[in-house]
Amino acid sequence: MAATLRLRIRVPRSEGGPVAGTLCAPEDRPAPPPILFLREDSLAPEGLFYPTIVDRLAQSGFATAILDRREGHAIDPVEELDVSRAFVAEAAAGRIDPRLARGRVGVVGHGLGGAIALLVAAASGGESVPGVVTLGACAQLARGDGRMPPSFVDEVARRPDRYSLERAVRELRGRAVFVHGEEDSLVPIEEAERLYHWADKDRARLVIMEKVGHNFGTKAPFVGLTKEVDRIGKILVDFFATLL
């Protein structure tokens, strides 16, 4: 089994100062352009199955970045979108780490992280982000279910186009895979179907995993790989192998 290299990275921004993160890459071979993994906000940094997915990608020759959050583990969508766009710009220009290839970046997101991933991918116009994979992503950011702070709900009201997932998906120029658990009680499966409905079917795929919820069969504490997480790993490796 190939060794995995873990590096601390810094992502500069025009405003707000740099943001740190961790980059996992294969140690014994050149890495392709990186993949940015955007986490769900309901999970701690170890994120149940996240390390398994990241290690799977590294063992398959990919480099994967997970960025730190300034305030605990919760997503601030405004901050997350800004930081993610900054990472894509820096990575595409080859300024994250000299060992990484430049030009293209893959994006993966779970839950609210998946929604941000779609906004980031759409903003690239398909150039720097040729593909995005969402895991249990919602179809609307300002959900009215108490998960979003009132300040962000107000921000969406002020700038609806910036945070419209329908507009983002319809404007995607790269490829997309929407993965969703059939029994997801946090983000109902209808939201995945809505995302797929908006997408260009020639460049998008919807994968429904039966009898699992938002965390794809994993529970805290994480004790082992589920067949669904194993399948997610295969989907990611196959998908990004064709794009990066």
CATH of 4-243, one of 2.40.10.120, 3.10.450.50, 3.30.565.10, 3.40.50.1820: 3.40.50.1820
Total-model pTM: 0.93
Instruction: Report the pLDDT value the prediction gives residue 177, as an integer from 0 to 100.
Output: 98
CB 187 within 8 A of CB 137: yes
Least confident window among 59-68, 147-156, 198-207: 147-156
CB 211 within 8 A of CB 183: yes
Q: Work out the mean pLDDT of the chain and round it to a whole number.
A: 89
End-to-end Cα, the chain, rounded Å: 22
Instruction: Report the pLDDT value the prediction gives residue 202, as an integer from 0 to 100.
Output: 97
- Model confidence at 116: pLDDT above 60: yes
* pLDDT band per the 50, 70, 90 thresholds, residue 211: very high
Return the higher-pLDDT residue of 45 and 172: 172
3-class DSSP state of 48 = coil
Token code pair at residue 163? 């945070």
Which uninterrupted H or E stretch holds 55?
helix 50-59
pLDDT tens digits along 10-53: 999 888 889 999 999 888 777 778 999 999 876 554 567 888 89
Instruction: Report the pLDDT value the prediction gives residue 4, as an integer from 0 to 100.
Output: 80
* pLDDT band per the 50, 70, 90 thresholds, residue 78: confident
Residue spans of the domains in the chain: they are: 4-243
Instruction: Report the pLDDT value the prediction gives residue 126, as an integer from 0 to 100.
Output: 86
Return the higher-pLDDT residue of 196 and 30: 196
- E strands, 47-152, are 64-67, 106-110, 131-135
Count Cβ neighbours within 10 Å for each residue of 26-57 and write b for 16 or more, e otherwise: beeeebbbbbbbbbbbbbeeebbbbebbbebb
Distance CA 118, CA 107 (A): 8
pLDDT tens digits along 218-230: 887 777 789 999 9
